[in-house]
Amino acid sequence: MQEPRSVTPPQRQEPPLSLYHLLDPEILANPYPLYHRLRREDPVHWDPFLHAWVVTRYADVITVFQRFSAQRTPTPEQLEAMGMQALTPLARVMVKQMLFLDPPAHTRVRSLAAKAFTPRRVAVLREHIRDIANSLLDRVQAQGYMDVIADLAYPLPAIVTAEMLGVPTEDWQQLTAWSADFAQVLGNFQHNPDRVAQTIRSLNEMTAYFRTAIREIERHPREGLIHAFLTAEIDGDRLSEEEIIANTIITMVGGQETTTNLIGNGVLSLLRHPDQLALLRADLSLIPSAVEELLRYESPSQHTARLAPEDTELGGKKIRKREAVIAVMGAANRDPERFPDPDRLNIRREDNRHVAFAWGSHFCFGAALARIEVQIAIELIVRRLPSLRLEPVPLVWRENLGLRGLKSLPVSWER
């Protein structure tokens, strides 16, 4: 009898390298194996699906922040040439926002905006932020459960951001809804024609809202970003009303989206690592260090785009002038060449210069405020809810590829 021949099983084909895989909910739930593969196999990768370079090493991401152009928003004329004139109102706003400007225009707008985020102003807010966070937890503590996102992570930064802007805090839910619509534009690779009407409607409503707020603050001045924009002057230079509205919008969105996601991602990460949560409970002085590690470990902003200012070389690859480069901060923050044992959550990590808030001239100017909000939120959760646990339900990540956050995070505790 003839012996059966051994059959070699076919090799499993790896899917082609692309950030486009983030559209798969399973990859979006845990993008880090994809990031590791990109960094290992092709750290400066031409992504034919996105028609952009994808950069995943820590050192290269910093180079992109330092040398590449943030001025990447298509002008209304370029949109019309591409047959996308429906997005023209959005372009008119975005080309004035500091996020999409290079020096000297970026320096000018940021210098004026920073007057509302002075260390003194942020420090004064600390106890007030604590009061807001305590009041939100007061509403749910007796019931023994909450959705961290809906009950704390959404309202806390929205209320604080409203106060920083100088608009009524009772408008926080409307501000949150507008921010979510605008964040879809900031965080996703692809243009979604199904969302255009909603995005433009939100933009028009925001513009009208802040125009009215400007008139009110001109009549009855009160402290806040809008008042700072209206009164700030450097060498006789002041912002136009359209610049004020555009940069108030981007500050509102940035102030809410990243902080909301960081609170949710941070609580989830601690609950998934009970040893680190126990360490924090035993020593609350670790809170600042823990928040920096949570920023590194599950960055609320995962990637951002830049344009090559000229023909250049990065990681041995030739990048042509005006080609798009996607700097993946979520990958840089897990680079083993920069962070030992990068996939381990370690709230005592000492050398932790992550890039969650970007780097250089575009470093998030609201970072100090975001850190205080999240430090207070994590401290109060740890202090007030000692038996906190995840509810056994599937976790769903928001369909925003760049701004990483959960749709909800149900938790419970002993009453």
Query: Which tens digits make up the pLDDT trace of 254-301?
Result: 888 889 999 999 999 999 999 999 999 999 999 999 999 999 999 999
Pairwise CA distance, residues 36 & 38, whole Å: 5
pLDDT, tens digit, 9 for 90 and up, residues 305-335: 999 999 999 999 999 999 999 999 999 999 9
DSSP symbol at 240: -
Task: Tell me if residue 415 falls in helix, strand or coil.
Answer: coil
N residues, the chain: 415
The two tokens of residue 107 are 């320096």
pLDDT, tens digit, 9 for 90 and up, residues 170-223: 999 999 999 888 888 776 655 566 777 888 899 999 999 999 999 999 999 988
- Please check whether residue 246 is in contact with residue 211, taking contact to mean a CB–CB distance below 8 angstroms: no
pLDDT confidence tier of residue 143, bands split at 50, 70 and 90: very high
In the chain, the domains with their CATH numbers are 74-303+333-413 (1.10.630.10)
pLDDT confidence tier of residue 116, bands split at 50, 70 and 90: low
Give pLDDT, residue 255. Answer: 85
DSSP-assigned letters across all residues of 314-357? ETTEEE-TT-EEEEEHHHHTT-TTTSSSTTS--TT-S-----TT
> In percent, how much of the chain has pLDDT > 90?
64
pLDDT confidence tier of residue 11, bands split at 50, 70 and 90: low
234 forms beta bridges with 237
DSSP symbol at 361: G
pLDDT confidence tier of residue 75, bands split at 50, 70 and 90: confident
The two tokens of residue 398 are 């928001």
pLDDT, tens digit, 9 for 90 and up, residues 93-105: 888 888 888 888 8
Give pLDDT, residue 155. Answer: 96
In terms of C-beta density within 10 A (0-12 exposed, 13-18 middle, 19 or more buried), how is residue 96 classed?
A: buried
pLDDT confidence tier of residue 1, bands split at 50, 70 and 90: very low
pLDDT higher at 14 or 324: 324
Average pLDDT taken over every residue of the chain: 89
Give pLDDT, residue 261. Answer: 94
- Residue 245's CB: how many other CB atoms inside 10 A? 23
- CB within 8 A of 17, min separation 6: which ones? 37, 38, 41, 42, 45, 47
Of all helices (H) and strands (E), which one includes residue 389? Answer: strand 389-390
Instruction: Say yes or no to pLDDT of 339 above 70.
Output: yes
pLDDT, tens digit, 9 for 90 and up, residues 19-33: 999 989 999 999 999
Instruction: Flag the least confident range among 4-18, 57-71, 309-323, 364-378.
Output: 4-18
- Give the phi and the psi of residue 219 in degrees, each rounded to 5: -75, -40
Helices assigned H by DSSP within 42-104: 58-67, 76-81, 88-94
Name which of 323, 286, 329 is nearest 306 in CA terms.
Answer: 323
Checking DSSP bridges between strand 52-55 and strand 324-328, what pairing results, if any? Answer: parallel
